[in-house]
């Protein structure tokens, strides 16, 4: 499989990465090189094989459903580029 220019633009939008028209052909070439490389997986017989979900066999650990941390709003917003009090600031989202 390979991607065309329209697919490159669609993927870029899904990934929320701005791509200029000039970058599209180059990216298309690189993505197609990677897709060509992974194409060899199609020759593997995977019939009846379970997809891996956990590389080490382990029971999913569960925690008590209790509050065990908190009161660190200052820490959480400390590195934000724009804040007001304990809120993150973004451009208007809801009209």
Rounded Cα gap, residues 2 and 29, in angstroms: 9
Q: DSSP string covering 39-94, please?
A: GGGGGS--TTPPPPS-SS--PPP---SS------HHHHHTT-SSEETTEE--S---
Q: Is 58 in the site for another protein (CB under 8 A)?
A: yes
What is the three-class DSSP state of 19?
A: coil
Q: Is 51 in the site for another protein (CB under 8 A)?
A: yes
- Shortest CB 26 distance to another protein, Å: 9
Q: Candidates 21, 60, 66, 67: give the one binding another protein (CB under 8 A).
A: 60
Q: Candidates 21, 22, 63, 66: give the one binding another protein (CB under 8 A).
A: 63
Q: Residue 84: what are its φ and ψ, rounded to 5°? A: -135, 110
Residues in contact with another protein by CB under 8 A are 1, 3, 7-8, 11-19, 27, 30-31, 33-35, 37-42, 44, 46, 49-56, 58, 60-61, 63, 72, 75, 78-82, 88, 90-93
């Amino acid at each position: 499989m390979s991607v065309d220019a329209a697919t490159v633009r669609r993927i870029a939008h899904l990934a929320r990465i701005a791509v200029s028209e000039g970058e599209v052909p180059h990216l298309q070439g690189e993505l197609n090189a990677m897709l060509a490389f992974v194409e060899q997986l199609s020759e593997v017989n995977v019939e009846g094989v379970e997809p891996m979900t956990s590389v080490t066999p382990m029971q999913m650990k569960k925690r008590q459903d209790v509050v065990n941390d908190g009161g660190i709003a200052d820490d959480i917003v400390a590195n934000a580029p724009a804040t007001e009090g304990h809120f993150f600031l973004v451009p208007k989202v809801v009209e």
